[in-house]
Structure 1
């Protein structure tokens, strides 16, 4: 018996080697999704379309594969318009089967011109309206997602999905057919020589790595050793140099107090495999006296409105860094034992705040969790005010995920589900704020139903944290951003998972041991102060908090 087109399209997805799909079913995608499930693909059925795309985004980042999601047409598509820009800006490959309203219907309640909505987010939209080319279009969508590192949304009219499939053989999968096999790009030797001569005259260097340097970690360490440089990473790549005594952590708006003081003294930043974004350079304020050398396969003159780099070296991260290291003379740089000790001991934030009864300092909460949680558990850093604190946990890159390119809160629970699907044998820990968690709290039911092993640590300030500090800085009422206490632990129990309110941090070792034994899912509700402002907020809104900065005597360390 001839297959329907929805079955043949499911076969085309399976041919691409997909293993997991995040889905919310409706008329325009449910037959296709059911066929996909029948072909052995693991389906994770979420409660909101946004969460399907956001979870696929984290899954793709964690696995290196194309993330797959499916939503229905019309309202299913409009619900994903916040998740898509985050994937676009993070350059994450997705293929999303969205369906379309039937072409043959005189009127359809959910009819919508979907293409302009999708392209407005920066994603690519493909309409599959010609049955003989549909399987080829699927192959091309996967190729485009991988080559351009972006989401591709596929619209297949509902009535065409039910048509008999032609007998023509499906084209080969994108990975087998058309994706080019490229070799690593070697840097121009003349450029290396010119740059080496210049670097040899510089004393205080920072080697800063992004996600593009993930395969060049050892090479970057060797260059830093040769030049006496400090090591740093962008926020998405945080933890790449975990354990190195001269790694100062994150470069950008999330830099620690010590790192920021050191960066102010830098003469040269060697940026390897990273975008020189406004966040990474803190709008040009992070390295006020330094030249910037960008090493990339596609270096850019302009980045987010800034002429960020003074010099460029085009080449593969590992090969270019190795070439520089080989050509460089040994330099003392600014490394010494005092500085190494300070890097080891310095807290991420040195500000002091008056103690408050019945609430915790979020920095104390994160420090206690960092000490108690096993090093091999997967950590997910969400968005919002409290994200600064958990971003500074002492964890390696392989067990930490953060995606913040669009600045939207509410993604944390979805990203945790994506990581849990990507690492089914691991325990996943999400750090989120109460405001962000409550945006998609319905997914607690998804977590329970699919048996995902996720521990949610909610830093509960009973408000939208960034907004209250900004409003206070403006001298305005914060009433619109303060919502009052929400019993997140009871909400978790209502969804059928464990919930605990944690007022005493000395309880954590026992709680962690019990969760490690039992597994499953849980929400731990930490009541935190709404007066402890992160350094990011304090710099931009200096009067909206009660903190006192404790300066670092950087000269004594150099």
Structure 2
């Protein structure tokens, strides 16, 4: 029948070596996806288009490459408008090949102007309608995603995809070969001198590292700088665990900070923020360090971030080189506010000491996470979804960011299963553990079938409070009825078994070691349904929504 355009497109996509393609097939992409699978690209066939893109996001974050997904036209495309803003805000390189309605048709049931839906999310939309541009156009989308660190959606009419080409077509050079070769950016000497004077005048310093610091390999330099200044260490949520084991590591900064960390941040007079975008949550809206100046070290420093003045001082530099330059220019100090008592408090004090009345048959989520921190093997991959339970999951100080995925941009729940699938596809050598709430899981419970069908080794820890956790606590603080957000404890373990996955309800936390060992010894997935109290509100909720008189 000759070479079709979809054959050429599949060869281009395979040459980009995305590692996996997350797909849901329809008329406008099924021929392409079939050829891509035949070309050797691993395929994960999901049950919902949103989950294809969310899984590709997690896969990209774990591999350091470009995530790849494909969906059909019309409703297949419109399902992406929740995932794409999160990819934009998390700066995740991503390509989505989406079909478009056929060019030859005056009317088509799924015809829609797709570009406005995509560009409204902040993602780029590239329509390919010229046969001679198809191969380079798809390659260029991968290059754009790499260069901008953002999602690019490529729309191709499916009658154009099905067109027969005249003879063999040469493949364009892959996008990776066209990326500029750049070296890390050292700081300007004048800027460095000004920063060294600032640091010399500070007495209580916290060095706070973000994901950019982790990617630049700046962790050891950050720790050394804090040691030299007698200061403390902290990370943003995505970089959690970068300083695990350091006695003066405050762990996560921001709304999820521990009581001890919040007290220390309140005493600081200088925060050195390394490789972080300075989000609203990271600074707890500016309330976390009320008495400190903030020095940002970044290749693209900012003053305004998410509606607030986030930094007063800046050093434009690669994260590692910038910190190392400061380290070379400062002299060792006395321990400062470091002490054995503070190290002991950091190591032993609870993240949240608030007491709640126990409820028979339901666990305190803080006890659940403490038990899981103790019993889950260190080498396993972990995924923290969004929602109320994510605060409790953040309190696992020994877990390193290299094996702990956190993507919370756009504040959407319902992503957990998809994120876990992306991580499991990227890191098949280790089991993946997903921590999620019942409300989030139930949004895309159909993906349990995808997990079972593909044999993905995922342990799903369902924190089941029988409700939408954030909403019930906010409604109660307002003095309003919580009936619209309370649904009862769904038997999630039974649902998992219905999809062919081992499911167990955990009424006694002492059973966790045996269940974890059982999961480790079996193939495939397992879901642990852990009933938790809906009376334990996170400190994030309590601070933002104090009870009204």
SS at match of 1:269: strand
1:225 to 218, 224, 227: 227
For the pair 1:467 / 2:471, whether they are aligned, the reply is: yes
Give the aligned partner of residue 381 of structure 2. 378
Contact in 1 for aligned 2:10/2:32 (Cα 8 Å)? yes
Contact in 2 for aligned 1:242/1:397 (Cα 8 Å)? no
For the pair 1:498 / 2:502, whether they are aligned, the reply is: yes
Instruction: Tell me how far 1:498 sits from its aligned partner.
Output: 0.4
Q: 1:483-530: per-residue Cα shift (whole Å, max 9, x none)?
A: 112000111101111010001011111111111111321111111100
Stretches of structure 2 lacking an aligned partner (at least 5 in a row): none
Give the aligned partner of residue 329 of structure 1. 331
Instruction: Tell me how far 1:319 sits from its aligned partner.
Output: 0.6
SS at match of 2:43: strand
2:407 to 397, 403, 409: 403
How far apart, in 2, do the equivalents of 1:160 and 1:29 lie? 11
For the pair 1:426 / 2:430, whether they are aligned, the reply is: yes
For the pair 1:243 / 2:245, whether they are aligned, the reply is: yes
The equivalences for 1:480-495 within 5 A come to 480-495=484-499
For the pair 1:72 / 2:72, whether they are aligned, the reply is: yes
Q: CA RMSD in A?
A: 1.1
How far apart, in 2, do the equivalents of 1:544 and 1:125 lie? 46
Count of aligned pairs: 544
How far apart, in 2, do the equivalents of 1:314 and 1:150 lie? 22
How far apart, in 1, do the equivalents of 2:78 and 2:170 lie? 34
Contact in 2 for aligned 1:207/1:271 (Cα 8 Å)? yes
Contact in 1 for aligned 2:19/2:426 (Cα 8 Å)? no
Give the aligned partner of residue 338 of structure 1. 341
Using the TM superposition, name which of 187-196 and 225-234 deviates more. Answer: 187-196
Contact in 2 for aligned 1:469/1:544 (Cα 8 Å)? no
Instruction: Tell me how far 1:192 sits from its aligned partner.
Output: 1.3
2:292 to 267, 276, 290: 290
How far apart, in 1, do the equivalents of 2:516 and 2:540 lie? 30
Contact in 2 for aligned 1:204/1:267 (Cα 8 Å)? yes
Instruction: Tell me how far 1:293 sits from its aligned partner.
Output: 0.2
Q: 1:35-69: per-residue Cα shift (whole Å, max 9, x none)?
A: 00000000000010010000000000011010000
How far apart, in 2, do the equivalents of 1:418 and 1:23 lie? 12
Give the aligned partner of residue 319 of structure 1. 321
Give the aligned partner of residue 550 of structure 1. none
Summarize the Cα distance change of 1:417–1:544 in structure 2 as closer, same or farther, 3 Å threshold. Answer: farther
Give the aligned partner of residue 173 of structure 2. 172
1:539 to 543, 546, 549: 543
Give the aligned partner of residue 132 of structure 2. 132
Give the aligned partner of residue 556 of structure 1. none
Instruction: Tell me how far 1:10 sits from its aligned partner.
Output: 0.7
1:271 to 270, 273, 284: 273
Instruction: Tell me how far 1:2 sits from its aligned partner.
Output: 3.4
For the pair 1:363 / 2:357, whether they are aligned, the reply is: no
Give the aligned partner of residue 4 of structure 1. 4
Q: 1:8-56: per-residue Cα shift (whole Å, max 9, x none)?
A: 0111111212221000000000000000000000000001001000000
How far apart, in 2, do the equivalents of 1:331 and 1:368 lie? 39
How far apart, in 2, do the equivalents of 1:531 and 1:152 lie? 43
Instruction: Tell me how far 1:457 sits from its aligned partner.
Output: 0.5
Using the size of structure 1 for normalisation, the TM-score is: 0.96
How far apart, in 1, do the equivalents of 2:139 and 2:520 lie? 42
Q: 1:268-306: per-residue Cα shift (whole Å, max 9, x none)?
A: 000000011111111110100000000000111211111
SS at match of 2:183: coil
Give the aligned partner of residue 514 of structure 1. 518
How far apart, in 2, do the equivalents of 1:452 and 1:74 lie? 30
SS at match of 2:40: coil
Q: 1:372-428: per-residue Cα shift (whole Å, max 9, x none)?
A: 111111111010001100111131111111100110000001000000000011101
Contact in 1 for aligned 2:72/2:100 (Cα 8 Å)? yes
How far apart, in 2, do the equivalents of 1:310 and 1:477 lie? 43
Instruction: Tell me how far 1:161 sits from its aligned partner.
Output: 0.6
Using the size of structure 2 for normalisation, the TM-score is: 0.98
How far apart, in 1, do the equivalents of 2:95 and 2:59 lie? 12
Give the aligned partner of residue 554 of structure 1. none
Structure 1's consecutive aligned runs of 4 or more residues displaced over 4 angstroms after TM superposition are none
SS at match of 1:374: coil
The equivalences for 1:28-177 within 5 A come to 28-166=28-166, 167-176=168-177
Contact in 2 for aligned 1:55/1:416 (Cα 8 Å)? yes
Give the aligned partner of residue 549 of structure 1. none
SS at match of 2:103: coil
Contact in 1 for aligned 2:8/2:169 (Cα 8 Å)? no
How far apart, in 1, do the equivalents of 2:14 and 2:498 lie? 37
How far apart, in 2, do the equivalents of 1:67 and 1:383 lie? 21
SS at match of 1:156: strand
How far apart, in 1, do the equivalents of 2:365 and 2:19 lie? 38
SS at match of 2:58: helix
Give the aligned partner of residue 436 of structure 1. 440
Contact in 2 for aligned 1:242/1:396 (Cα 8 Å)? yes
Give the aligned partner of residue 555 of structure 1. none
SS at match of 2:95: strand
Contact in 1 for aligned 2:17/2:41 (Cα 8 Å)? no
For the pair 1:458 / 2:472, whether they are aligned, the reply is: no
How far apart, in 2, do the equivalents of 1:154 and 1:301 lie? 34
SS at match of 2:261: helix
Instruction: Tell me how far 1:170 sits from its aligned partner.
Output: 2.4
Give the aligned partner of residue 530 of structure 1. 534
Stretches of structure 1 lacking an aligned partner (at least 5 in a row): 546-558
